[in-house]
């Protein structure tokens, strides 16, 4: 729970996917994505970790990693 964050309706995970894909991320599995150019992995983007308020997605408690070749 995020008691200090006031949100609207439950987040539609299709909206999360559309947003991330439009920004160059590739859906990997379940609620995980990676960006092949900037070498970042985002995980755990389920509907309790991406909130919606007034149509805006708010990413909270996102797990992110740098891919091994990030520094290359």
pLDDT digits (tens, 9 = 90+) for 11-68: 999 999 999 999 999 999 999 999 999 999 999 999 889 998 888 999 988 999 999 9
Q: Give the pLDDT confidence score for residue 31 in this predicted structure.
A: 95
Would you tell me how many other CB atoms lie within 10 Å of the CB of residue 58?
A: 14
Check if the beta carbon of residue 36 is closer than 8 Å to that of residue 28: no
Burial zone of 9 (CB within 10 Å; 0-12 exposed, 13-18 middle, 19+ buried)? exposed
Model pTM score: 0.85
């Amino acid at each position: 729970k995020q008691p200090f964050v006031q949100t609207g309706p439950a987040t539609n995970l299709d909206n999360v996917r559309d947003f991330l894909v439009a920004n160059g991320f590739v859906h990997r599995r379940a609620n995980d994505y990676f960006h092949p150019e900037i070498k970042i992995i985002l995980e755990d983007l389920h509907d309790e970790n991406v909130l919606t308020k007034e149509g805006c997605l708010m990413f909270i408690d996102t797990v992110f990693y740098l891919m091994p070749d990030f520094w290359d």
